[in-house]
Structure 1
Amino acid sequence: MVISVTEGIKVCVEVTYQAEFSSPHQHHYVFTYKVTIENNSQHTYQLLKRKWQIFDAAEESKIVEGNGVVGQQPIREPGDSHSYVSGCNLKSGLGKMKGSYTMEKLFDGKSIEVEVPEFQMIANIFHN
């Protein structure tokens, strides 16, 4: 698990290699990641956007951006948390991701960029 904290917003990421959905001989590796976002600040925030940098040992890195996370733009009061699971497909069994969330403070409309810590995706085939 990797963790980062930005202005009281804690982001934890756990990664799992999905061997049953992967086909190494076809250069297809599937990973899921669970993200937990905890609002440990004194303000209410809404997650508006996400931005990911995805690095795959077999190809160029890419940027993925979009609104919310898994179709939601959650609002969290102080002390609340939000968890979701998403996934990433790689052509190699070795990669990493990092990113950020744009979150808006509902009190005054100011936005902050919350860091999503870099996490590694390593297929279990490399641990034999």
Structure 2
Amino acid sequence: MSSMISEGIQVSVETFYQPDYSNPLQSEFMFAYRITLENHNAFPVKLHRRSWHIFDSNGSYREVEGEGVVGVQPVINPGESYQYVSGCNLRTEMGKMKGEYQMENLHSKRFFNVSIPEFEMIVPLKYN
């Protein structure tokens, strides 16, 4: 698990290889990731946007960005957490992702960025 705190928001990531949705013969490797966001601030925050940097072990790179996460823009109150699961497809058996969320302090209306720690996605057989 990868975890980091920035701007008072703790972001923790767990990854899971999805063999039933992968096709290694076609160079298609599917991974799921579970993200937990914990608000350690004294004010509520709203997640507006996300931006990802995705690296495949063959050297390819892509960026993905958009509004919210899994179709929602959650509000996280002080001391509370929000969790969601999403996925990423790779063309190789190993890769990594990192990124950031754009959030808003709902008291001051100030926008700020929260770092998403880099995490690896590796097909389990590669560990041997």
Q: TM-score, normalised by structure 1?
A: 0.96
Q: In angstroms, what is the RMSD of aligned CA positions?
A: 0.9
Corresponding residue of 2:66 = 66
Structure 1, unaligned runs of 5 or more: none
Corresponding residue of 1:92 = 92
CA contact (8 A) 1:55 1:96 kept: yes
CA contact (8 A) 1:59 1:91 kept: no
- Structure 1 residue 57: deviation in Å? 1.5
SS of 1:101 mapped into structure 2: strand
SS of 1:78 mapped into structure 2: coil
Corresponding residue of 1:15 = 15
CA–CA separation in structure 1 for the residues paired with 2:12 and 2:31? 16
CA–CA separation in structure 2 for the residues paired with 1:125 and 1:21? 16
Structure 2, unaligned runs of 5 or more: none
CA contact (8 A) 2:7 2:113 kept: no
CA contact (8 A) 2:54 2:97 kept: yes
Q: How does 1:21-100 map to 2 (within 5 A)?
A: 21-100=21-100
CA–CA separation in structure 2 for the residues paired with 1:77 and 1:127? 39
Corresponding residue of 1:2 = 2
- Structure 1 residue 59: deviation in Å? 4.8
Identical amino acids, percent of aligned pairs? 45
- Structure 1 residue 90: deviation in Å? 0.4
Q: Which runs of 4+ in 1 moved over 2 A?
A: none
CA–CA separation in structure 2 for the residues paired with 1:126 and 1:9? 32
- Structure 1 residue 7: deviation in Å? 1.9
Report Cα offsets for 1:52-93 as digits up to 9, x if no partner.
000012352011000000000001110111000000000001
CA contact (8 A) 1:2 1:13 kept: yes
